[in-house]
A = this chain, B = another copy of it.
Amino acid sequence: MVTMEAFTQFVFLISAAAFVGFACITFVFIWVFNFKEGLAWDGGLAEFNWHPVLIVIGLIFLQGIAIIVYRLPWTWKYSKLVMKFTHAGLHSLAFILTVVALVAVFDFHNAAKIPNMYSLHSWVGLAAVILYSLQLVLGIGIYLIPITPVALRATFMPLHIYSGLFIFASVLATALMGITEKLIFGLKDVPYKNSPPEATFVNILGILILVFGALVLWIATRASWKRPSDQKILDSLHANGGGEANTKVGPALSEDAELVDPETCGEVRRRSNKSDDFDQDK
Interface residues of A, Cβ cutoff 8 Å to B: 2-3, 5-6, 9, 114-115, 118-121, 123-124, 127, 158, 162, 166, 169-170, 172-173, 176-177, 179-181, 183-185, 192-195, 199, 202-203, 206-207, 210, 214, 217-218, 221-224, 253-258, 266, 269-274, 276-277, 279-282
Residue on B nearest A276 in the bound complex, by CB: B2
How close is A137's CB to chain B, nearest CB, in angstroms?
20
Contact partner, A176, options B9, B120, B217, B223, Cβ 8 Å: B120
Is the pair B118, A224 in contact by a Cβ cutoff of 8 Å?
no
Is the pair A199, B118 in contact by a Cβ cutoff of 8 Å?
yes
How close is A165's CB to chain B, nearest CB, in angstroms?
8
As for how many copies of this chain the complex holds, the number is 2
Residue on B nearest A166 in the bound complex, by CB: B214
Residues of B contacting A280 in the complex (Cβ-Cβ under 8 angstroms): 221-224, 281
Is the pair A176, B179 in contact by a Cβ cutoff of 8 Å?
no
Is the pair A276, B173 in contact by a Cβ cutoff of 8 Å?
no
Is the pair A224, B276 in contact by a Cβ cutoff of 8 Å?
yes
Q: A123-B206, A180-B177, A281-B281 are in contact. Are A6 and B194 (CB under 8 A)?
A: no
Residues of B contacting A123 in the complex (Cβ-Cβ under 8 angstroms): 203, 206-207
Q: A206-B123, A218-B162 are in contact. Are A266 and B281 (CB under 8 A)?
A: yes
Is the pair A279, B223 in contact by a Cβ cutoff of 8 Å?
yes
- Tell me the bound Cα distance from A6 to B277 in angstroms: 8
Residues of B contacting A222 in the complex (Cβ-Cβ under 8 angstroms): 158, 277, 280
- Tell me the bound Cα distance from A4 to B162 in angstroms: 23
Contact partner, A119, options B6, B124, B180, B185, Cβ 8 Å: B180
Residue on B nearest A207 in the bound complex, by CB: B123
Residue on B nearest A266 in the bound complex, by CB: B281
Residues of B contacting A195 in the complex (Cβ-Cβ under 8 angstroms): 115, 118
Q: Known A-B contacts: A177-B180, A180-B180, A256-B271. Give 12 more (CB < 8 A).
A: A120-B206, A124-B176, A166-B214, A173-B176, A173-B210, A221-B282, A223-B279, A224-B276, A224-B277, A256-B272, A257-B269, A257-B279
